[in-house]
Amino acid sequence: MLYRLCQSLKEYGLDPPTTDQIISEVGEDYKNQLSLGEVKLRKKELFTVLEHSVFSRMFEASMRSRNDEQYSLNYPGGDEKQATVKAWTAPYIGDAALLLRRTLDRMNSRRGDALYANYVPIVQSSGTGKSRAVDELAQQVFTLPFCLRQEYSDTGYPVADKDVGEILLGGGGALVPSNRTVAAVGMVQGVFLKHLFKAAHEDLSAMPTYSSQEALAKAFHSRLRENNYRARFYERVCTKTSQELKPSRTALSLAMERKGSKETLEYEAAFELISLIRIKSGIPPTSKYEERGVDGGTGRKIWLCIYFDESHALTQKVIQPGSSQSRTAYQTLCWVLNRLRSLDLFTVFLSTQSHMSAYSPPKGLFWSERVINDTTPGVQAPICEMSFDNWSGGDQLAAPYQNTLQDVCKIAFMVRFGRPLFWSRYEAGDDDVKRTILSFARKKIAGNRTDKLNSEAELAVLMFRVGLSFDKTRIGVPQTEAKLVRGHMISCHSIPQHREFIYAAASSEPILAEAAAQLMDINNIWEKLAGTLFGLCNNGMIAKGERGELLARLLLTKAHDWVVYGLRSKDVLRPRRFTRPILLADFLEALVGKKNKDEIMKAKPNNTRNGPTLADSPLGQAALNFTHWAKAADDCSLTDNGAWIALTRCMAWQCCDGQPEVDLVTPLMLPPEDAKLGPYTVSAIFWQIKNRATPTRAEIDAERLGFFSYCEKPLSEEISAEIVNSRPYLTIVLNLGISNLRPEGKTGKPKPISSLSASRRISSRGSSFKTTYPRYALSISGCSHDTFPNLIPVADQYVYSSLLSPGNCVTDHARQDLENLEGIMQQKPLWGKANGKLKGSFVQYGDQSSRLCLNESQEPVPTVEVYEYHEREGEDEGTVNFVEEVADVEMDGTC
């Protein structure tokens, strides 16, 4: 039977031990039975046998293998181990470690005597410097560090601490399966901590006295790194732990029945260790250490720190599964650490692979009734403040007039932005590591060793490219965002104290945005993107007020990529490179088609007389480059300073909430081609997004908004002050809510629109104001194939337009086929006119030519309108009024 069991386990992809290994390692209670040819075990006994370490190692190895496949930090390409070690041992950059130390001191000072408040998890996505930050912390505060990474990974760094994880999980021979209860595992963990503190006390006694806490911490940190000292130190602790527990493997010791926190042996050992740490830090022996009293110890700093890196195994190991007493090994360890809360000791847990809820669940899901009943408000919200934009090249990531648009598109430049993983790896790696850095980034987003995307990875890609964000009130959103942080490089920006959800988004990281663009190309995401977004909108994951701007960002990003496809149309190798300058003219062609683009290029400024056409102006040779969108918190996006920095990071701006007049800004680099990026060499496209059924004419005045900086002297021989102070710009109103569908039965040429305003002064600042920055203005109406011929396939028109619709019983219906929607409308939940092929609510009332049946609520609107300057003499002497003439570029043929 045993042989057949092992064969069955192999069929499930597991690697079971041999029968001889099983016979030699299982307990005496089962050895005789297992050695017989006929084994008759009840179901409960079988699971007890399978829980034995000889089997559990097999299951854990399988789980580790799958986790390694999905979340490994290391992928083939060059000398991975060498690059990792060199990056780790390079001088530390940034203040994240100092911030961590100060944060922990404040937590310790403010926690009082609250339960479960003397530990905190660090929750952040991969590559943000979590491990390096706690290693630097260990040089400021006396620290006992642990890396619980399973030993199957030979490229991880630092190396794993052998046997420690097994003991903390209640395994490693410490307990037989029948005794592996929550209380027993807690006893094992307590005994381990006792011997840990005693061993540290013993070694610290032999060290000299130092002048400060930091000097002692640094000396002990260095000692752990020398001559395999750390491995020998923990081996000693594990050996003593196992020796003490050996008599208790079959009969539980009474020691686990301790009642008071201060009566435990680990508490006494920790107290003595902290007392010695203070003395060795230069505190006079006469100043004796006292535990925290009833006042909670306000103002006290941390003297002893423990951290567990790669600690997800603790959260994954369930003890007494299925019972009311079920806990994870992590929860049990927190219970043991809670007994030390009267000491100035703090514990930090790190992992990328576990959900936040596994480490710091919200109050209603906590494992302690006292927390659930709000009698212990001290539970710490996880720390997410890690390194970002800390580059080895100095405090300045970029300076004005130092780089061309071509320079900032190079990988060596792109890696300096964002998390430290990429620049440290790139600078420490060999040529193969440098060459494969984009492949590495793609796999980090995908969460596996291939470029294949699951549904969560697709969401991550959309977050990087178009700034996708979720409605946090929707059930399931917190879990989805936690998974994206865990495995797909989405950043955790903030965690509220209530811990009910997190603020997660894609940060501005050009290397990851490029990787996301390549993943979209490899997986043909654009072909199914409309359906994906429709599903997200339909299930309520995307807030309704966000959909108009989201669709606009999607269309503009798709237009950018469409240009890149054209530039590399003859290339057969994929993926393409998307971070590259593209001409404004090519971008407009991608957006509205060649015919409309050609007419737009003939446009003249609408705010000044005798201006050149757009093609003959500097905009005719202007270039743009954006692979992602960044959200502005204020009006920084409406300045040329913000524009050149955005071009440096290969991004466009999503304006702050409530920003008047402008919703999106696409920065432009003005000619000449070799000009350097800076405030005086850039302009922008200013976008206003409307989701209304009637066209909107909105004036966007970049001068009045303060976008342009004034230049007093020539920038170079080619760029005079006059050129700088007359930079042109482009404004576009996207009227996405306009219907482009002509009612059935209507024929004839649509009526052209000649003007949107009969007479209007160009500026409220009076006739004495002189315009110096030419404005080219146009509007684009509709959300159909006719409006965006290169971007919206005919078959997907309804899906795109549906993204704009506010949710109701029609748009949210599970079946979106026409006849199903007509069945819904037949019930009259909403009364509406005919909308394309959808008949509406009034077709049964006789007059089929009624406006209620034909949906003629507005005149047909051209897909593109260009606004041009025209003047006439005003009625008052000395006053000149300005009128904008509207040039109809192209009408929708089905209007």
Q: What's residue 891's pLDDT?
A: 45
Q: What's residue 545's pLDDT?
A: 72
Please tell me whether residues 839 and 806 are part of one structural domain: no
pLDDT bin (cut points 50, 70, 90) of residue 42 is: very low
Pick from 808, 812, 806: which is nearest to 545 by CA? 806
722 three-state secondary structure? helix
Q: What's residue 893's pLDDT?
A: 38
| pLDDT, the chain, mean | 82
Q: Does residue 416 sit within a domain? A: yes
CB atoms within 10 A of CB 328: 22
Rg (CA), the chain: 33
Greatest distance between any 2 Cα atoms in the chain: 115
Instruction: Work out whether the CA dihedral 510, 516, 522, 526 comes out positive or negative.
Output: negative
Q: What's residue 73's pLDDT?
A: 42
Q: Is the pLDDT reported for residue 88 higher than 60?
A: yes
Q: Does residue 218 sit within a domain? A: yes
Q: Is the pLDDT reported for residue 326 higher than 50?
A: yes
Cβ-proximal residues to 510 (8 Å cutoff; 6+ apart), any chain: 414, 417, 418, 579, 627, 628, 649, 650, 651
One-letter amino acid of 41: L
How far is Cα 354 from Cα 36, in angstroms, rounded to an integer?
Answer: 42
Note the pLDDT tens digit of each residue in 120-134: 999 999 999 999 999
Pick from 237, 125, 175, 834: which is nearest to 507 by CA? 125
Please tell me whether residues 185 and 296 are part of one structural domain: yes
| Mean local confidence (pLDDT), 691-716 | 88
Provide the CB-side half-sphere exposure for 342 (13 A, CA).
17
Q: Considering 54, 71, 88, which residue would you say is the last residue of a domain?
A: 71
The gap between the terminal CA atoms of the chain, to the nearest Å, is 76
What is the crossing angle of helices 525-538 and 510-522, to 10°?
100
Pick from 368, 489, 511: which is nearest to 439 by CA? 511
Q: Which one-letter DSSP state was computed for residue 870?
A: E
| Mean local confidence (pLDDT), 262-288 | 92
Residue % of the chain over a pLDDT of 90: 52
| Mean local confidence (pLDDT), 479-486 | 92
Please tell me whether residues 751 and 642 are part of one structural domain: yes
Q: Does residue 124 sit within a domain? A: no
Q: Does residue 382 sit within a domain? A: no
pLDDT bin (cut points 50, 70, 90) of residue 7 is: low
If one counts the domains in the chain, the total is: 5
Note the pLDDT tens digit of each residue in 737-775: 887 544 334 444 433 333 333 223 334 344 344 668 999
Which is more confident, 360 or 725? 725
Please tell me whether residues 306 and 184 are part of one structural domain: yes
Q: Are 691 and 804 in contact (CB under 8 A)?
A: yes
Please tell me whether residues 634 and 539 are part of one structural domain: no
| Most confidently modeled range among 349-358, 673-682, 883-892 | 673-682
Pick from 701, 721, 714: which is nearest to 660 by CA? 701
Q: Does residue 730 sit within a domain? A: yes
Strands 119-122 and 345-350: parallel
Residue 129 phi, psi (nearest 5): 90, 25
How far is Cα 140 from Cα 132, in angstroms, rounded to an integer?
Answer: 13
Q: What's residue 560's pLDDT?
A: 98
Instruction: Work out whether the CA dihedral 88, 90, 94, 96 comes out positive or negative.
Output: positive
Q: Is the pLDDT reported for residue 597 higher than 60?
A: yes
Q: What is the reported pTM?
A: 0.83
84-87 own/partner pairs: CB under 8 Å, 24+ apart:
84/155, 84/156, 84/157, 84/425, 84/428, 85/157, 86/428, 86/429, 87/424, 87/425, 87/427, 87/428
Please tell me whether residues 66 and 185 are part of one structural domain: no
How far is Cα 822 from Cα 304, in angstroms, rounded to an integer?
Answer: 69
Cite the DSSP H helix spans in 317-436: 329-338, 356-359, 369-372, 411-414, 420-428, 431-435
What is the crossing angle of helices 455-466 and 437-446, to 10°?
120
Q: What's residue 854's pLDDT?
A: 59
Q: Does residue 419 sit within a domain? A: yes
Q: Which two tokens stand for residue 785?
A: 């194939």
Please tell me whether residues 599 and 530 are part of one structural domain: no
Q: Does residue 828 sit within a domain? A: yes
Please tell me whether residues 168 and 214 are part of one structural domain: yes
Q: Considering 52, 71, 90, which residue would you say is the last residue of a domain?
A: 71
Strands 304-309 and 345-350: parallel
pLDDT bin (cut points 50, 70, 90) of residue 443 is: very high
Please tell me whether residues 36 and 159 are part of one structural domain: no
Q: What's residue 238's pLDDT?
A: 94
| Most confidently modeled range among 31-40, 135-144, 788-797, 816-825 | 135-144
Please tell me whether residues 733 and 780 are part of one structural domain: yes
Q: What's residue 609's pLDDT?
A: 86
Q: Is the pLDDT reported for residue 63 higher than 70?
A: no
| Mean local confidence (pLDDT), 495-523 | 93
How far is Cα 125 from Cα 444, in angstroms, rounded to an integer?
Answer: 10
Q: Does residue 230 sit within a domain? A: yes
825-829 own/partner pairs: CB under 8 Å, 24+ apart:
none
671 three-state secondary structure? coil
Q: Which two tokens stand for residue 246?
A: 């050996």
| Most confidently modeled range among 83-87, 182-186, 376-380, 458-462 | 458-462
| Mean local confidence (pLDDT), 854-862 | 59
Q: Is the pLDDT reported for residue 333 higher than 70?
A: yes
Q: Is the pLDDT reported for residue 388 higher than 60?
A: yes
Q: Is the pLDDT reported for residue 566 higher than 70?
A: yes
| Mean local confidence (pLDDT), 559-583 | 83
Least confident of 295-309, 475-489, 708-722, 811-825: 811-825
How far is Cα 559 from Cα 524, in angstroms, rounded to an integer?
Answer: 15
Least confident of 163-167, 173-177, 487-491: 173-177
Please tell me whether residues 165 and 312 are part of one structural domain: yes
| Mean local confidence (pLDDT), 400-428 | 96
Q: Considering 43, 71, 99, which residue would you say is the last residue of a domain?
A: 71
Q: What's residue 753's pLDDT?
A: 30
Q: Which range marks the domain in which residue 59 is found?
A: 2-71
Please tell me whether residues 745 and 839 are part of one structural domain: no
| Angle value at C-alpha 457, between 465 and 79, nearest 5 degrees | 95
